Chain A
């Protein structure tokens, strides 16, 4: 599945986003594995709710972090595509 800015992503059923109190970072947990997230990646994942598109997520983050929306959008698209290619993310 090739994602684009209009794709509406959410985490796959097997994946859980969890704050890790030991490292102060967020983790993606899925069977037998875990992935530690940078704060920026966790901010993106938190908004993957199956309702908002990648473009909308990026524009929200641009306002929140006072950053360039198109930069955020291309970073988010690349990151979410990588998750999708590992069956960790699905599109609504």
Chain B
């Protein structure tokens, strides 16, 4: 058993997606979209992951339903003993297919809801998909499968927090994730449009906490503050290379969704190495594991074992130094970057968002 036991595998099956959400973290780089892993590669990954200690796999993307072999992948992960979660937009789902996936051993279905207002949802994801999503959610419950509803929160939808709770109740969801946008990927260039103000957040949090208490024996309600407002950084991925392994559609194995954007780090591909070697020894995983890389104020901070210095990708994208303290920390010398950004949520006119299409320039 390795000293750092991975518990969860995030299997990003495909970057293809019918949605174009303005806060998506996936790359648009065509070279990385071209070659998706083969079925056999994924099946090998599930067996190796289980041998390393992984107990859960989350199929995500992009849209995992766009893989024709999803039934085989669910069956393979289930046979390896993993708890299998499907994170989907719900849009391409057909009733018959869900039956097949259930037979293959699917344990939970997570469906994203961008907004309860169809026009607002279209502004976020570029299409009118709400009806298809609600139909998919109804099938999930009809088949006795557990349902998670995931809502990414931001300035444009936070004021409908009561509607999200009511929708999840109406759908008999087993878990409701109310997670504020993290400003990575496409959310960063769209930050001024997405970043909420403190009043919105405090209202939403109080609604979510009341719902959590009221619904506690029926529905797990999770509310995640944006780290821009928390003053202490998030313990990103539970620490670099500590609990999570992410495999990208092309086989790149990463500690988080954005790690490939960090300069000077090399990450290995599942096609060329064993998952165990990549986790234990590959330079990219070793680099920020533990505390050796830390600078002040992290190095001597009492919280370093709780938050692990925060998010390396956020440090890089905002300060230009991937080993810096996450600037969301109030102790960071760069914390003014966050304080200044927060002001953009306070009443400035809304500039239109940058849509995530092939034509648009890629964010850093």
Give me the interface of A with B, judged by CB distance under 8 Å: 1, 12-14, 16, 18, 20, 22, 27, 29-32, 34, 84-87
Contacts and interface: CB of A to CB of B under 8 A. Distances in A.
A16 B53 contact: no
Contacts of A29: 55-56, 83, 107
Contacts of B353: none
Contacts of B107: 14, 16, 29, 31
B67 interface: no
Interface string B303-337: 00000000000000000000000000000000000
A16 B107 CA distance: 9
Contacts of A1: 217
A64 B240 CA distance: 44
Interface in B44-102: 53, 55-56, 58, 81, 83, 85
Contacts of A32: 8, 56, 58, 85
A12 B83 contact: no
Contacts, number: 57
B216 A86 contact: yes
A14 B81 contact: no
B347 interface: no
B110 interface: yes
A51 to B, nearest CB: 18
B55 A27 contact: yes
A87 B222 CA distance: 13
Given A32-B56, A34-B55, A85 B216 contact: yes
Given A32-B8, A87-B217, 11 more contacts: A1-B217, A13-B146, A14-B146, A18-B81, A27-B55, A29-B56, A30-B108, A32-B56, A32-B58, A34-B7, A87-B216
B175 A31 contact: yes
Contact of B219 (A18, A30, A34, A87): A87
B276 to A, nearest CB: 13
A62 to B, nearest CB: 27
Interface of B: 1, 5, 7-8, 53, 55-56, 58, 81, 83, 85, 107-108, 110, 144-146, 148, 174-175, 215-220
Please report whether the interface of chain B is mostly helix, strand, loop or mixed according to DSSP: loop
A86 B55 CA distance: 21
B55 A14 contact: no
Among A18, A27, A31, residue most surrounded by chain B Cβ atoms (within 10 Å): A31
B5 A22 contact: yes
A85 B7 CA distance: 25
A16 B144 CA distance: 14
A87 B219 CA distance: 6
B110 A85 contact: no
B108 A14 contact: yes
A34 B174 CA distance: 16
A16 B174 contact: no
A22 B251 CA distance: 26
CB-CB nearest 3 A-B residue pairs? A14-B146, A29-B83, A31-B108
A86 B85 CA distance: 19
Contacts of A85: 216-217
B146 to A, nearest CB: 3
A20 B5 CA distance: 13
A79 to B, nearest CB: 15
Among A22, A84, A86, max chain B CB count under 10 A is at A22
Nearest to B174: A14
5 contacts: A14-B108, A14-B174, A18-B83, A85-B217, A87-B217
Nearest to B213: A85
B104 to A, nearest CB: 15
